[in-house]
């Protein structure tokens, strides 16, 4: 590739090893590469500030090694308005949102793409473990080669138009190889721990952080027979399938099996729990999805039933299902009952390697609910 005619790419550099190696691979492929460090979250937590500064230091070291320019931009106000505030509304409504999905749609593949365009970039690139394909002149979203790290689940709200201007340079590489490449390149972050937890909370205490923004509203915890067995601190602080932090403790009349959240009654401010990891109340045969987004801009079919696979959480193996379309929503019926189908989370649809799209889980249906 001639350097003078090579496309210009701006890589979103987070300070992590994945985006660093993404930049390296693009440089090696002959692209004209620049880096961009985004500040997407700001608060007064000292640990958060220190982490951001360390991330920026890692980005600067990578850019120095690669001899590429570094830009910085602050999207924190936009993130708070378009991602965080939306998530707070969902938590207050008793649902469990997925901010990483919203962040990809609103920030990384909208705000970042727009900003990079203003800087003159032909493409943007990230360190996501996903791949791109093409069919009938349209860009397809495919799973990452490393199935344990595949991040297509978080990208289903990104449309094919944005994907057509995106590169995923580590999508065809195993994570272990990414770390080896980073070490060979002299990157200080080659052993840096992967980020975990909700993006704006990180590894801090979830309830403690959320209580800064949502007031607690204690109420009863009851079992599936309606017997009161404890008190919760506010329905916003719990999610379906949750085991830890219920504060129920041992009960002589209930045996030793752990308790799990199986439902929330917002009208009566009641948290419903059941005992045992395989309790029937934890499982649903169907779900209703709203706010459905198709990567191609349209569903694979417009009527009838469509067989495919789906995930109701990130690390779940593919589950066989059938989609029934109605209006802007989708009814999903699984071949096998699914555990802890959680309103507010995403259900994402696949056909083989291709990510078709997904939607927000509105509710799950157990046998006999229909």
Catalytic residues: 103, 199
| Whole-Å CA distances, 61 to 64, 95, 199, 270 | 5, 40, 23, 51
- In whole angstroms, what is the distance from residue 124 CA to residue 131 CA? 14
- In whole angstroms, what is the distance from residue 323 CA to residue 161 CA? 25
Among 163, 180, 198, 132, which residue's Cα sits nearest to residue 20?
180
- In whole angstroms, what is the distance from residue 365 CA to residue 125 CA? 39
Give the dihedral sign, CA 62/64/67/68: positive
Cα R_g (the chain), whole angstroms: 22
Strand, helix or coil for residue 305:
strand
Angle at 164 between CA 180 and CA 103, to 5 degrees: 70
- In whole angstroms, what is the distance from residue 168 CA to residue 305 CA? 33
């Amino acid at each position: 590739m001639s350097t003078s005619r090579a496309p210009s790419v701006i890589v979103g550099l987070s300070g992590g090893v994945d985006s660093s190696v993404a930049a390296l691979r693009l440089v090696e492929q002959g692209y004209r590469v620049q880096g961009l460090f985004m500040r997407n979250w700001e608060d007064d937590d000292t640990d958060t500030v220190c982490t951001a500064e360390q991330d920026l230091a890692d980005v600067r070291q990578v850019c120095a090694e690669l001899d590429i320019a570094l830009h910085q931009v602050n999207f924190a106000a936009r993130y708070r308005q378009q991602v965080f505030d939306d998530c707070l509304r969902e938590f207050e409504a008793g649902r469990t949102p997925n901010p990483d999905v919203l962040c990809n749609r609103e920030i990384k593949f909208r705000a970042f793409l727009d900003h990079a365009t203003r800087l003159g970039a032909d493409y943007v690139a990230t360190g996501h473990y996903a791949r791109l394909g093409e069919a009938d002149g349209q860009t397809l979203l495919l799973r990452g080669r490393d199935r344990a790290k595949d991040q297509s689940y978080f990208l289903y709200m990104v449309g094919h138009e944005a994907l057509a201007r995106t590169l995923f340079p580590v999508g065809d590489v195993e994570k272990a190889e990414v770390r080896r490449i980073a070490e060979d390149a002299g990157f200080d972050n080659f052993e840096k721990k992967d980020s975990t937890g909700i993006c704006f909370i990180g590894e801090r205490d979830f309830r403690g952080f959320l209580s800064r923004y949502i007031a607690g509203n204690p109420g009863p915890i009851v079992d599936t027979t309606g017997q009161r067995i404890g008190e919760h601190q506010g329905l916003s602080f719990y999610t379906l399938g949750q085991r830890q932090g219920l504060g129920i403790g041992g009960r002589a009349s209930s045996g030793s099996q752990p308790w799990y959240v199986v439902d929330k009654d917002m009208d009566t401010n009641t948290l419903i729990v059941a005992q045992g990891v395989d309790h029937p109340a934890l499982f649903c045969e169907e779900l209703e999805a709203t706010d459905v987004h198709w990567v191609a801009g349209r569903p694979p079919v417009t009527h009838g039933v469509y067989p495919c696979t789906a995930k109701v959480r990130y690390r779940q193996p593919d589950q066989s299902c059938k989609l029934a379309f109605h209006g802007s929503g989708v009814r999903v019926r699984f071949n096998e009952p699914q555990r802890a189908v959680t309103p507010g989370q995403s259900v994402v649809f696949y056909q083989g390697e291709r990510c078709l799209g997904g939607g927000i889980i509105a509710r799950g249906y157990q046998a006999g609910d229909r």
